[in-house]
C-alpha cells in the first residue's frame, strides 16, 4: 500500500506576516514535487492570506491551525471554515493537544469541525495523543482510540480515506523527548486498526497517519521508515527554512 507522505510544519503562535513571506521565499525553490510528498505549513490565522498568496506557483500547501464549525454568524473571534477555504487554505489542523488543554476543546467539537472542514472543501489533520500519566498507566491505546472514534463520527468513507490523523503524544511535544519509533509505529498501527473497525480495511489502508512530537531532521527518517507512519507534524523544527527543508529531504 503506497500512501503519499505528508510533512507538515505547525508554526503554532510564531512569526509575523513579514517573517512568513521571507520563509516562503527561502524555501520555495527547494520544495520536493507534490507527486512525492505533501509539504504543508500550518500558520497562524492572522496571516494565512499572506501565506496562500506567497505559496502560489510552488509545491507548498497551507494549513490553518484551527477553525470554528459554523460557516458564519455571531461567533466573535472565531475563524470561519468558509473564509479559510476562500483564502485558498488546503488543510485545517484540529484537536491539537494545546487546544484541548488550554481551550478545553472536546472530542465532539473536534468532530463538528471535521464536518465543517469537509463541507468547505478542505481536509482536516486530526490530532490525537495521550498524557504521560495515561501512557505510563498503559491506557494510551484505549484513550487515543476513543479520541479517533469520536473525531470521525458520521464522516463518510470517502472523507475518512482522504483525511490525515496526527498521533502526537503530549509528553513528546516540545520536550525533546520524542517517542521511540516502536512506540510511534505501534500507536499508528492501532489507529489504522480502529479506522478499519469503524469503517473498513480499504479506508484504513488509505488514511494517512503522521507522528508528531520532537521530530527533527536528525530523527525523522526513523519514523518515516515505520510501515504505518506516513509523515510527521513538526513544531519547533519547522520554524527555520533550512530545518524545514532538511525534514523534507528525508523523503526519497
Ligand atoms: P514539536 O515538534 O515542537 O515537539 O511540536 C510538535 C507539535 O505539537 C506539532 O503539532
Beta bridge partners of 232: 7, 211
What pLDDT score does 176 carry?
87
Rounded distance between C-alpha atoms, residue 235 and residue 215, angstroms: 8
Q: Quick check: is 168 catalytic?
A: yes
CB 229 within 8 A of CB 210: yes
Rounded distance between C-alpha atoms, residue 31 and residue 25, angstroms: 11
108 three-class SS: helix
- 17-27 and 241-249 helices cross at what angle (nearest 10)? 40
Calculate how far, in angstroms, residue 7's C-alpha sits from the geometric centre of ligand 1: 12
Question: Residue 9's closest CA among 49, 60, 47, 66?
Answer: 60
What pLDDT score does 41 carry?
98
Is 233's C-beta closer than 6 angstroms to any atom of ligand 1? yes
- 140-151 and 181-198 helices cross at what angle (nearest 10)? 40
User: Which grid coordinates are listed for 42?
Assistant: 500550518
The single residue of 109, 141, 168, 222 carrying the catalytic annotation is 168
Rounded distance between C-alpha atoms, residue 33 and residue 58, angstroms: 9
Is 213's C-beta closer than 6 angstroms to any atom of ligand 1? yes
What pLDDT score does 2 carry?
86
Rounded distance between C-alpha atoms, residue 91 and residue 108, angstroms: 19
Rounded distance between C-alpha atoms, residue 38 and residue 5, angstroms: 6
Global pTM reads 0.97
Ligand 1: atom nearest CA of 236 is 3
What pLDDT score does 30 carry?
96
What does the DSSP assignment read for 29-95? GGPPPTTT-EEEEEE-GGGHHHHHHHTTTSSEEEEES---SSSSSS-TT---HHHHHHHT--EEEE-
The single residue of 96, 105, 109, 141 carrying the catalytic annotation is 96
234 three-class SS: strand
pLDDT along the chain (252 residues), means of 10: 93 97 97 96 97 97 98 98 98 98 97 98 98 96 98 98 98 91 98 98 98 97 98 98 97 80
Structural domains of the chain sorted by starting position, each given as residue range(s) with its CATH number in brackets: 6-250 (3.20.20.70)
Rounded distance between C-alpha atoms, residue 128 and residue 126, angstroms: 7
What pLDDT score does 1 carry?
61
Rounded distance between C-alpha atoms, residue 22 and residue 24, angstroms: 5
Amino acid at each position: 500500500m503506497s500512501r503519499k507522505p505528508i510533512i507538515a510544519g505547525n508554526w503554532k503562535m510564531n512569526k509575523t506576516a513579514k517573517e512568513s513571506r521571507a520563509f516562503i521565499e527561502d524555501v520555495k525553490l527547494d520544495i520536493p514535487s507534490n507527486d512525492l510528498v505533501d509539504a504543508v505549513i500550518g500558520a497562524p490565522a492572522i496571516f494565512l492570506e499572506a501565506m496562500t498568496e506567497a505559496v502560489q506557483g510552488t509545491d507548498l500547501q497551507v494549513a490553518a491551525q484551527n477553525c470554528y464549525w459554523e460557516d458564519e454568524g455571531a461567533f466573535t473571534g472565531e475563524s470561519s471554515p468558509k473564509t479559510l477555504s476562500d483564502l485558498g487554505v488546503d488543510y485545517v489542523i484540529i484537536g491539537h493537544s494545546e487546544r484541548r488543554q488550554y481551550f478545553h476543546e472536546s472530542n465532539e467539537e473536534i468532530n463538528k469541525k471535521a464536518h465543517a472542514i469537509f463541507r468547505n472543501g478542505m481536509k482536516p489533520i486530526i490530532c490525537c495523543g495521550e498524557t504521560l500519566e495515561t501512557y505510563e498507566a498503559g491506557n494510551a491505546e484505549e484513550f487515543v482510540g476513543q479520541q479517533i472514534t469520536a473525531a470521525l463520527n458520521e464522516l463518510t468513507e470517502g472523507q475518512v480515506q482522504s483525511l490525515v490523523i496526527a498521533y502526537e503524544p503530549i509528553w513528546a511535544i516540545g520536550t525533546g523527548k520524542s517517542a521511540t519509533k516502536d512506540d510511534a509505529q505501534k500507536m499508528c498501527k492501532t489507529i489504522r486498526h480502529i479506522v478499519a473497525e469503524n469503517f473498513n480495511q480499504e479506508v484504513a489502508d488509505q488514511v494517512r497517519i503522521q507522528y508528531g512530537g520532537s521530530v527533527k531532521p536528525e530523527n525523522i527518517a526513523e519514523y518515516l521508515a515505520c510501515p504505518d507512519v506516513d509523515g510527521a507534524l513538526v513544531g519547533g523544527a519547522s520554524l527555520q527554512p533550512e530545518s524545514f527543508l532538511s525534514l523534507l529531504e528525508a523523503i526519497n
